[in-house]
Amino acid sequence: MKKNLRYAILLFILLFVAVNEAIIEMRSTSWERPLIVHIYALSGDSRTASEAYVDALTSAHFKPMETFMNREARRYGMTMDAIKVEYHGRLSSHPPQPPSGQSVLENIWWSLRFRAWAWYRGWTSDKEHSDVELFVNYFDTATSTSLRHSVGLEGGLIGIINAFADKSYRGSNQVVIVHELMHTLGATDKYGVGNMPAHPRGYAEPFRTPLYPQRKAEIMGGRIPLSPQQSRMPEKLGEVLVGSFTAAEIHWPLDGDR
């Protein structure tokens, strides 16, 4: 009996969160004004290299994301800026890391804890308005060769990004941050087996002839297809664009001249 009650309460909370977020997502992708995106940095492993890297970050570091989004939005016929990125410095309290496993329940539980953490953090600290909050965890490349996955909560308008604390990863970190930002706005992944982008949705130029090699990556396709079996990671946002499938998902007008 007690267990049933607990499930009922959890279900009720989930329903409440889902309805609430559907409304927020609809409102945030109506594009009546630029969305304010706040970025916070964290040292993921407290190592000297990542600490120093995080301390040296400035808003200039995240500017290319704003330039990229606004350029792409204009290509789709938007007449104003899509986003405004503001770097809000370093945080000392860490958001809960997403679970490494595939368990649905664990993921739901984590996403609720992450929402609660973000809500509490916002409530107790800065009162400045933001539409989207992205938390970037930086890890030392000397001890971290692979990172836990990054997650942008669809409709939650919050995302956690795991990134490398190294200059050479600056461009690819930005690609990952924009990818998660797109998720928070309702965009879906467009890759399949072996992380190969799905055709045509995950291709930057799906109808180009010859089709291969592609010159750019689609932001939600994630990689640049070189052949039907090979692809590579984009090294900077200059190698990425927003495809029309993704643009439609985030409700860009689609009447630009592309």
Binding stretches for Zn ion (CB under 5 A): 189
- Nearest CA to 94 among 45, 153, 145? 45
Nearest-approach distance from CB 87 to Zn ion, in angstroms = 22
Of the pair 86, 189, the CB lying nearest Zn ion is at 189
Nearest-approach distance from CB 180 to Zn ion, in angstroms = 7
| E strand or H helix at 87 | strand 83-90
Residue 191 is classified by DSSP as: B
Contacts of 126 (CB under 8 A, 6+ apart): 88
Nearest-approach distance from CB 256 to Zn ion, in angstroms = 24
Of the pair 101, 210, the CB lying nearest Zn ion is at 101
Of the pair 189, 205, the CB lying nearest Zn ion is at 189
Nearest-approach distance from CB 62 to Zn ion, in angstroms = 19
What does the buried/exposed string (b/e) look like for 115-134 if buried means 16 or more CB atoms within 10 Å of the residue's CB? bebbeebbeeeeeeebbbbb
Of the pair 54, 69, the CB lying nearest Zn ion is at 69
Number of CB atoms found within 10 A of residue 204's CB: 21
CA–CA distance, 5 with 62 (Å, rounded to integer): 45
- Nearest CA to 157 among 67, 23, 6, 10? 23
Of the pair 35, 153, the CB lying nearest Zn ion is at 153
Nearest-approach distance from CB 19 to Zn ion, in angstroms = 24
Nearest-approach distance from CB 188 to Zn ion, in angstroms = 8
Both tokens of 120, joined, read 């509490």
Of the pair 34, 202, the CB lying nearest Zn ion is at 202
**C-beta nearest to Zn ion: residue:** 189
Of the pair 54, 237, the CB lying nearest Zn ion is at 237
Query: What is the rounded end-to-end Cα distance, in angstroms, of the chain?
Result: 59
Both tokens of 9, joined, read 């309460």
3-state secondary structure of 110: helix
3-state secondary structure of 134: strand
* CA-derived radius of gyration, the chain: 19
Nearest-approach distance from CB 101 to Zn ion, in angstroms = 17
Q: Is the peptide bond before 228 cis (omega within 30 degrees of 0)?
A: no
